[in-house]
Amino acid sequence: MNKNRRTARNTAVVLLALSLSPLALCAQKESKTAQAMAKQGMANVWDYDKSIQVSLMYGRADNFTGTVLYDDLRQAYLHPKAAAALAKAQKRLKQLRPDLSLKIYDAARPMSVQQKMYRVVRGTSKSIYVSNPRNGGGLHNYGMAVDITLCKAATGDTIPMGTVIDHLGILAHIDNEAQMVSRRQISREAKRNRELLRSVMRHAGFTPLSTEWWHFNFVSRATAKKYYKVIK
């Protein structure tokens, strides 16, 4: 291979790597959904910490609804206060475990998406896991909640947490994890990983949801309804 061809190939490899990086994705034109969120005061999490990984589960069909709910959204948005706090949680995690990273599966969520989600569980035992839009929705709809896990910083591979994210069932609850371990329903490693996630999120001011190990709120529902606006 001559020098010119080798140089061209190396350049192409570098450009491909850059096109897949968070920096490049931030530079790309924002989608209509992202633009709408920004106009309503939401902030791109990568503006606060580009090392936080993002894999929006409702941008794929492998979620509890079985459908794609975000047609054009690939980046995570939160209220600026929550986004800044999440960066603080990532910093704390890096102090404790430099090999790990936070990985977002859902963040700010338009009420139109909340309505689609609730229709799937309405009238079933799973309805307790999805906030009713008629009651003002949940904190995702204010940009004040995040669904998140831990992953390996180098590869993005998630680490054991006992269940897959979005598991609507008792094994996702956080109040009886010791019993789950004793019954061999989740591993000791998964329990430790959940505890680490809660530790760094609490350090930043987030509160865990008892029924979903991956869900964290930054303010109470009463505070959100009083001081913040629902995302349309």
pLDDT per residue as tens digits for the range 179-189: 999 999 999 99
* pLDDT beyond 90 at 29: no
Instruction: Give me 77's structure tokens.
Output: 């948005």
**pLDDT tens by residue, 61-70:** 999 999 999 9
Per DSSP, the three-state class of 132 is coil
Model's pTM, two decimal places?
Answer: 0.85
- Concatenate the DSSP letters of all residues of 1-19 into one string: --HHHHHHHHHHHHHHHHH
Q: Which residues contact 146 (CB under 8 A, 6 or more apart)?
A: 76, 78, 82, 86, 104, 106, 107, 140, 206, 215, 216, 218
pLDDT category at 24 given cuts 50, 70, 90 is very low
Least confident of 5-19, 81-95, 130-144, 168-182: 5-19
Per DSSP, the three-state class of 77 is strand
How many other CB atoms sit within 10 Å of the CB of residue 155? 9
Q: Quick one: DSSP state of residue 124?
A: S
Q: Which residues contact 49 (CB under 8 A, 6 or more apart)?
A: 86, 87, 90, 91
Per DSSP, the three-state class of 106 is strand
* pLDDT beyond 80 at 155: yes
Per DSSP, the three-state class of 79 is coil
Residue 12's pLDDT is: 46
Handedness of CA 172, 22, 145, 128 (dihedral sign): negative
Q: How far apart are CA 154 and CA 100, in angstroms?
A: 8
pLDDT category at 203 given cuts 50, 70, 90 is very high
How many other CB atoms sit within 10 Å of the CB of residue 116? 15
Handedness of CA 82, 85, 87, 90 (dihedral sign): negative
Q: Quick one: DSSP state of residue 189?
A: H
What value does the mean pLDDT of the chain take? 89
- Residues paired with 147 in a beta bridge: 106, 215
SS3 for 57-75 is HHHCCCCCCCCCCCCCCCC
Residue 219's pLDDT is: 98
Handedness of CA 48, 145, 170, 167 (dihedral sign): negative
**pLDDT tens by residue, 41-51:** 999 999 999 99
Among residues 188, 107, 98, which one has the least CA distance to residue 147?
Answer: 107
